[in-house]
């Protein structure tokens, strides 16, 4: 339930949609929605063909749920949520937020505030801008390689390309069209934004690697699949 | 480098380029059919006149006719995998677009929700 002390923040954020792609996150999705609902009234969960009732749980927790009849991957789920948000002309800002509880709603709040200042069209979350996020050495290396690749491809200068927490305005939301069904969408988003000549910045975010998110998170092997998807399409 | 090596590598690159750029065009379909018939013809030829095939292979600098067939089959297989991979990707995209449209209609209450259990199982 929303905390009454936050009613001002909730009112202010009624022009913002949080897009949460959900694929089998039943153990954590209710608490993710509850925490987001402290600050954001419009939470759009895209249930990407979960088999564990995640969508129903998210709906009970108060999110608007859009159901994919099958699993299409995170990029497709994000695109669906973004299009749902675009259908409402009141919506000015969009935030993408992972459903596994690794992101912090207050980071999202800060990113939307940055957008409200109208200096930037896109705010990317980066786990490498402060010391809050703890990473294993292997993961750090792979993420750094990924970001070097993305930067070389797009000409942007980012420190963290594969971060699910991003915020952008309506112009960017209408511009992006994610077609990759796999995980390569993170690079695809950056690539499309780079072609649109948008003003972008990064903000530090804290990624919490719980045992749950670690167990569910991508295997490093998946970076091979992502690379392949990006080259051959 | 021998002529055969250059020739085979050239074929691989041309086919890959073709698979990537003309995947659903009329030319691509015609090309696939010609390649299919050509390969079938070569195999029949190889079965009936093993000597002829070796003669053809020799003109490319390949020792045996069977080796020529192996190379061509390998190229055909590579071409087939790439074009199938791309085709499935295109199909995935189309299914995704259709499903997204349905999902958005459902969530607005315009139509009832698709029950995943009722979808045909692959």
Residues of B in contact with A72 (CB under 8 A): 92, 95-96, 99
Mean pLDDT in residue range B100-121: 76
The span from the CA of A195 to the CA of A55, in Å, is 34
Asked if B103's CB is within 8 angstroms of A67's CB, the reply is yes
- Is the Cβ of B89 closer than 8 Å to some Cβ of chain A? yes
pLDDT over 90 at B50, yes or no: no
Residues of A in contact with B107 (CB under 8 A): 64-67, 84
- Is the Cβ of B90 closer than 8 Å to some Cβ of chain A? no
Q: Which helix (H) or strand (E) holds B42?
A: helix B26-48
> Which ranges of chain A have pLDDT less than 70?
1-5, 180-183, 215-220, 229-233
- Of A207-216, B65-74, B79-88, B113-122, minimum mean pLDDT range: B113-122
Q: Between B102 and B31, whose confidence is greater?
A: B102
Give me the pLDDT at residue A33, please. 96
Which of A69, A80, A179 has the CB atom closest to B116's CB atom?
A: A69
The answer to whether the CB of A193 falls within 8 A of the CB of A122 is yes
The rounded percent of chain B whose pLDDT value lies above 70 is: 80
Give me the pLDDT at residue B110, please. 66
Give me the pLDDT at residue A36, please. 96
Per-residue pLDDT band at B51 (split at 50, 70, 90): confident
pLDDT digits (tens, 9 = 90+) for A31-86: 999 999 999 999 999 999 999 999 999 999 999 999 999 899 899 999 999 999 99
Q: Which residue of B has its CA nearest to A51?
A: B116
Its pTM stands at 0.79
The span from the CA of A132 to the CA of A161, in Å, is 17
Per-residue pLDDT band at B93 (split at 50, 70, 90): confident
Which of B86, B93, B116 has the CB atom closest to A49's CB atom?
A: B116
Give me the pLDDT at residue A141, please. 85
Give me the pLDDT at residue A219, please. 64
Give me the pLDDT at residue A44, please. 96
Give me the pLDDT at residue A125, please. 95
Å between B95 CA and nearest CA of chain A: 9
Q: Which residue of A has its CA nearest to B113?
A: A67
């Amino acid at each position: 339930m929303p905390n009454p002390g936050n009613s001002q923040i909730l009112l202010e954020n009624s022009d913002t949609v949080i897009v949460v792609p959900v694929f089998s996150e039943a153990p954590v999705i209710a608490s993710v929605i509850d925490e987001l609902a402290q600050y954001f009234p419009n939470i759009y969960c895209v249930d990407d063909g979960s088999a564990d009732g995640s969508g129903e749980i998210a709906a009970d927790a108060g999110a608007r749920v859009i159901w994919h009849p099958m699993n299409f991957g995170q990029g497709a789920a994000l695109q669906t949520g973004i299009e749902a948000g675009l259908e409402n002309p009141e919506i000015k800002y969009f935030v993408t937020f992972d459903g596994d509880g690794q992101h912090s709603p207050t980071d999202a709040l800060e990113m939307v505030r940055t957008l409200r200042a109208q200096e930037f069209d896109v705010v990317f979350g980066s786990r490498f801008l402060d010391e809050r996020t703890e990473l294993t050495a292997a993961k750090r290396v792979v993420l750094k390689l990924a970001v070097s690749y993305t930067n070389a491809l797009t000409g942007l200068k980012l420190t963290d390309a594969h971060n699910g927490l991003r915020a952008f305005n309506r112009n960017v939301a209408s511009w992006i069209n994610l077609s990759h069904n796999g995980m390569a969408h993170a690079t695809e988003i950056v690539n499309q934004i780079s072609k649109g000549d948008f003003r972008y910045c990064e903000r530090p975010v804290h990624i919490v690697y719980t045992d749950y998110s670690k167990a569910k998170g991508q295997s490093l092997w998946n970076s091979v699949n992502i690379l392949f998807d990006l080259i051959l399409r | 480098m021998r002529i055969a090596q250059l020739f085979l590598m050239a074929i691989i690159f041309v086919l890959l380029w073709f698979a990537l750029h003309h995947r659903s065009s009329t030319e691509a379909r015609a090309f696939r059919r010609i390649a299919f018939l050509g390969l079938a013809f070569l195999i029949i030829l190889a079965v009936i006149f093993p000597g002829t095939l070796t003669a053809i292979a020799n003109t490319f600098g390949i020792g045996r006719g069977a080796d020529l067939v192996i190379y061509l089959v390998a190229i055909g297989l590579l071409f087939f995998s790439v074009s199938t991979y791309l085709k499935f990707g295109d199909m995935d995209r189309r299914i995704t677009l259709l499903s997204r449209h349905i999902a958005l209609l459902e969530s607005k209450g315009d139509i009832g929700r698709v029950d995943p259990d009722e979808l045909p199982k692959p």
